[in-house]
Structure 1
Amino acid sequence: MFNDSSRRLADGIRAWIVTASPGARLPSTRQLVTEYAASPVTVQKAIRSLAAEGLIECRPGVGNFVRTPRSTRPHDYGWQTAALGSLRSTLPSVAGALRTAAPGAQELHSGYPEAELLPGRLVRAALIRAARGASATSRPAPAGLQDLRSWFATELAGLTPAGFAAPTANDVVIVPGSQSGLTSIFRALVAPGQPLLIESPTYWGAILAAHQAGARLVPVPSDADGPDPDELDRSFRETRARALYVQPNYANPTGAQWSPARAEAVLDLVRAHGAFLVEDDWAHDFGIDTDPWPVAARDTAGHVVYLRSLTKSMSPAIRIGALIARGPVRDRFLADRSAESMYVSGLLQQAALEVVTDPGWKTHLRRLRVQLRERRDLLVDSLREHAPRLHVDHVPRGGLHLWARLPEGTNTDRLVRDCETEDVYVASGHEWFPAEPSGPFLRLNFTGPNPNGFPAAARTITAALASQQ
Structure 2
Amino acid sequence: MSQSSTERIVADLRAWIAAAPPGARVPSNRALMHEFGAGPVTVQKAMRQLIALGLVESRPGIGTFVRATRAVRPADYGWQTAALGAPPSRTAALSATHRQVAPDAIALHSGYPARELLPERAVRQALARAARTDAAMTRSPAAGVPELRAWFANELAAAAPAGVAHAAPRDALITAGSQGGLSSIFRALVGAGRPMLIESPSYWGAMLAAEQAGVVLVPVPTGPAGPDPAAVERAFAETGARAFYAQPNFANPTGASWPVETGRAVLETVRRHGAFLVEDDWAHDLGIDAGVRPLAALDDDGHVIYLRSLTKNVSPALRVAVVIARGPARDRIVADRAAEAMYVSGVVQAAALDVVTQPGWAAHLRSLGGQLRARRDLLVQSLREHAPEVHVEAVPAGGLNLWARLPDGTDVDGLVRDAEARGLAIAPGREWFPAEPSGPFVRLNYSGAEPERFPEAARILARSLAATTSA
TM-score w.r.t. the length of structure 1 is: 0.97
1-structure distance, mates of 2:88, 2:438: 27
Q: Is the 8 A contact 1:284 1:308 kept in 2?
A: yes
2-structure distance, mates of 1:249, 1:103: 33
Question: Residue 198 of structure 1 corresponds to which residue in structure 2?
Answer: 198
Question: Residue 168 of structure 2 corresponds to which residue in structure 1?
Answer: 168
* One-letter amino acid matched to 1:135: A
Deviations 1:289-343 (CA, angstroms, capped at 9, x unpaired): 1100111011121010000000110000000000000110000110011111110
* One-letter amino acid matched to 1:359: P
- C-alpha spacing 1:113/1:78, structure 2 compared with 1 (3 Å): same
Question: Residue 141 of structure 1 corresponds to which residue in structure 2?
Answer: 141
Q: Is the 8 A contact 2:95 2:431 kept in 1?
A: no
TM-superposed CA distance for 1:73, in Å, is 4.1
- C-alpha spacing 1:85/1:98, structure 2 compared with 1 (3 Å): closer
Are residue 33 (structure 1) and residue 21 (structure 2) matched? no
Are residue 294 (structure 1) and residue 299 (structure 2) matched? no
* One-letter amino acid matched to 2:213: A
- SS at 2:116 equivalent: helix
The correspondence of residues 38-437 of structure 1 with structure 2, limited to 5 A, is 38-81=38-81, 83-84=83-84, 91=91, 93-437=93-437
- SS at 1:312 equivalent: coil
Does 98-107 or 23-32 show the bigger shift?
Answer: 23-32
Question: Residue 444 of structure 1 corresponds to which residue in structure 2?
Answer: 444
Deviations 1:4-60 (CA, angstroms, capped at 9, x unpaired): 722321122112112223332222223212211122332222112101110112122
Question: Residue 11 of structure 1 corresponds to which residue in structure 2?
Answer: 11
2-structure distance, mates of 1:91, 1:246: 21
* One-letter amino acid matched to 2:143: A
2-structure distance, mates of 1:276, 1:122: 37
- SS at 2:391 equivalent: coil
Q: Is the 8 A contact 1:93 1:431 kept in 2?
A: no
2-structure distance, mates of 1:48, 1:119: 32
* One-letter amino acid matched to 1:296: A
2-structure distance, mates of 1:378, 1:76: 51
- SS at 1:198 equivalent: strand
Does 42-51 or 148-157 show the bigger shift?
Answer: 42-51
- SS at 1:267 equivalent: helix
Deviations 1:361-407 (CA, angstroms, capped at 9, x unpaired): 11100111111111111111000001000110010000000000000
Deviations 1:408-463 (CA, angstroms, capped at 9, x unpaired): 01011111111111111111111110110000011000000010100111000000
Deviations 1:259-294 (CA, angstroms, capped at 9, x unpaired): 000000000110111111000000000011110011
1-structure distance, mates of 2:250, 2:94: 21
2-structure distance, mates of 1:41, 1:313: 36
1-structure distance, mates of 2:291, 2:446: 19
Does 62-71 or 396-405 show the bigger shift?
Answer: 62-71
- C-alpha spacing 1:255/1:90, structure 2 compared with 1 (3 Å): closer
Deviations 1:217-254 (CA, angstroms, capped at 9, x unpaired): 11100122211112111111111110110000000000
Q: Is the 8 A contact 2:225 2:256 kept in 1?
A: yes
1-structure distance, mates of 2:163, 2:329: 23
1-structure distance, mates of 2:141, 2:41: 45
- SS at 2:360 equivalent: helix
Q: Is the 8 A contact 1:160 1:166 kept in 2?
A: yes
2-structure distance, mates of 1:68, 1:313: 49
Q: Is the 8 A contact 1:393 1:404 kept in 2?
A: yes
Does 186-195 or 196-205 show the bigger shift?
Answer: 186-195
* One-letter amino acid matched to 2:293: W
- C-alpha spacing 1:82/1:466, structure 2 compared with 1 (3 Å): closer
Q: Is the 8 A contact 1:279 1:306 kept in 2?
A: yes
- C-alpha spacing 1:428/1:84, structure 2 compared with 1 (3 Å): closer
TM-superposed CA distance for 1:90, in Å, is 5.6
Q: Is the 8 A contact 2:4 2:38 kept in 1?
A: no
2-structure distance, mates of 1:210, 1:4: 53
1-structure distance, mates of 2:157, 2:401: 28
- SS at 1:313 equivalent: coil
- C-alpha spacing 1:94/1:64, structure 2 compared with 1 (3 Å): closer
2-structure distance, mates of 1:310, 1:355: 10
- SS at 1:220 equivalent: strand
Q: Is the 8 A contact 2:166 2:300 kept in 1?
A: no
* One-letter amino acid matched to 1:368: L
Q: Is the 8 A contact 2:200 2:432 kept in 1?
A: yes
Deviations 1:128-153 (CA, angstroms, capped at 9, x unpaired): 11111111111111100111000000
1-structure distance, mates of 2:455, 2:86: 48
2-structure distance, mates of 1:132, 1:282: 30
Runs of 5+ unmatched residues, structure 1: none
Equivalent residue pairs, number: 467
Deviations 1:111-132 (CA, angstroms, capped at 9, x unpaired): 0000110011111111111111
